[in-house]
Structure 1
Amino acid sequence: MNYQYIQLEHQENVSYLTLNRPEVHNAFDDRMIAELLHALDSIDEHPTCRVMVLRAVGKNFSAGADLNWMRSMAEKDFDENLADAGELSALMERLDTLSKPTIALLQGAAFGGAVGLAACCDIAVAHDQANFCLSEVKIGLIPAVISPYVMRAMGTRQARRYMLTAERFSAAAAHDTGLVHSVTDDLESALQPLLTALVDNSPAAVTAAKRLALDIDQQPLNETTRRTTIERIAAIRVSAEGQEGLQAFLEKRTPAWKKG
């Protein structure tokens, strides 16, 4: 696909996915959603990618939905709106379940669906001057498609407030609610130790740990859940990387995946 609204760059073990419509504050429409879906598939299949960084060009991370796209939605019937919403839902699900760990770097405004993108990433880091808003009810809509991810990140109590009031909230408030993990005045400097930590870990274990977190989330602590965790730790213990990691630890040497 020829990307118009995003950039995708692979650098050694890291893939950088960048929103690139600064002239409209990186607002997204059906074209950008399609490009992001295509790029995420490419990242998942990339042979050397170990981490994906989601970022944006310009003053703002993303203002949310593009005005012209929203205008076109108003002219569509129910079935056409179902299809549109389905594509946005597919994007959130694809980002949320990407096999690689994901880091969002958030500056300026992150409104509407952009809050969903942040919530779908494994790690979210906000600039200290960033601000957030679940703005949908201001224009008679609701943050439906992103709500499962936002509520999981922020918790139901906090999400209900911001979904109902559509008030802007600061990076500090986003941190307090759990939407972002850290706040900084230098996103690039904050990124480096995270990349180092993730790349130093077993690639197979990181993928398995992410899958475990997704599968166990909000599941009851019952025999099925216990059996799942028992089977997964047993499987990874006897895997190639599991064996290598244990032997390296016992022999006090560097594991093979950290070499080269």
Structure 2
Amino acid sequence: MAQTITIETDARGVATLTLNRPDKRNALSSDMMDDLTAAAADLGADPAVRVVVLTGAGDTFCAGGDLDWMRAQVAADDDTRAAEAHRLAGMLRALNELPKPLIGAVQGQAFGGGIGMMSVCDVAIGSTGARFGLTETRLGLIPATIGPYVVARMGQAMARRVFMSARLFDAEEAVQLGLLARAVPADDLAAAVEAEVIPYLSCAPGAVAEAKALIRDLGGLSAEAAIDHSVWALVARWQGDEAAEGIAAFFAKRKPGWVR
């Protein structure tokens, strides 16, 4: 498996899928997105795997988009931007539709795409002291590609609290928003995740997979329509003056012109 992620499976069939770019705060590069998409397919097809735990190496779960990836989007044309948004959307969809329980062990902070990955977990347990945020609007962008999953997880009422303001929030509020099922001290995280894993080992794997698929069907989220809408909403935002100013300010380490 590629170096951007690691996979370890124990004798019970519990696979730990780890984002493995700690020096980059596990930011999502094109390679990592492709590796996660492939990993979801491999784990989903492996009859020996009963449960998947998603976590990150180091002290950050996922910082969002990789800086080099973001720079490439600045110079790209609309079709390239759409293709990259579809790459991220495809990764999230693959994890969301993984026919195995996906348990998030969120050991550190998460922003942007990291919130998206938390949202496609069947249950996520976080470490107290971690910080979270949908920070895209600070850059003149919107949390578009992750949006279908974030809104499905939080519901519209809760999403309105954090989807547009880019403010950071703590693990306790992440529980209130529905992103985390629980927040526990870092030393207790492994035990809390294990408590979520154990019940599945007594369940029929095929029944679990079909029950998970049924939830998606009953939820009414049209994956194709939602993904396509979110991708082109993001492309449209890239075309505007605010995105150009926000990204330029970010890389220049200055405040964008709208900050008061």
TM-score of the pair, normalised by structure 2 = 0.82
Regions of 4+ moved over 6 Å: none
Q: Tell me how many residue pairs correspond in the alignment.
A: 218
Distance in 1 between residues matched to 2:82 and 2:114, nearest whole Å: 20
Residue 4 in 1 paired to residue 6 in 2? no
- Please identify, of 135-144 and 200-209, the stretch whose mean Cα deviation from structure 2 is larger: 200-209
The letter of the residue matching 1:22 is P
Distance in 2 between residues matched to 1:108 and 1:54, nearest whole Å: 12
Tell me, yes or no, if the aligned pair for 1:33 and 1:88 is still in contact at 8 Å: yes
Equivalent residue runs for 1:76-225 within 5 Å: 76-185=76-185, 186-218=188-220
Distance in 1 between residues matched to 2:157 and 2:134, nearest whole Å: 14
User: What's the offset of the Cα at 1:107?
Assistant: 2.1
Name the SS for the 1:125 alignment partner.
strand
Tell me, yes or no, if the aligned pair for 1:107 and 1:129 is still in contact at 8 Å: no
Q: Which runs of 5+ in 2 are unaligned?
A: 222-260
Name the SS for the 1:164 alignment partner.
coil
User: What's the offset of the Cα at 1:82?
Assistant: 0.6
TM-score of the pair, normalised by structure 1 = 0.82
Identity of aligned residues (%): 38
- Residue in 1 aligned with 2:229? none
User: What's the offset of the Cα at 1:215?
Assistant: 0.5
- Residue in 2 aligned with 1:23? 23
Equivalent residue runs for 1:51-66 within 5 Å: 51-66=51-66
Name the SS for the 1:83 alignment partner.
helix
User: What's the offset of the Cα at 1:69?
Assistant: 0.8
- Residue in 2 aligned with 1:255? none
- Residue in 2 aligned with 1:257? none
- Residue in 1 aligned with 2:226? none
Distance in 2 between residues matched to 1:94 and 1:197, nearest whole Å: 23
The letter of the residue matching 1:148 is P
Distance in 2 between residues matched to 1:210 and 1:108, nearest whole Å: 27
Distance in 2 between residues matched to 1:51 and 1:110, nearest whole Å: 22
Structural RMSD (CA)? 1.1
User: What's the offset of the Cα at 1:193?
Assistant: 1.5
Q: Which runs of 5+ in 1 are unaligned?
A: 220-260
Distance in 1 between residues matched to 2:6 and 2:75, nearest whole Å: 30
The C-alpha deviation readout for 1:9-32, integer Å capped at 9, x for no partner, is 221211111001111111111011
The letter of the residue matching 2:208 is V
Distance in 2 between residues matched to 1:39 and 1:218, nearest whole Å: 26
Distance in 1 between residues matched to 2:68 and 2:220, nearest whole Å: 38
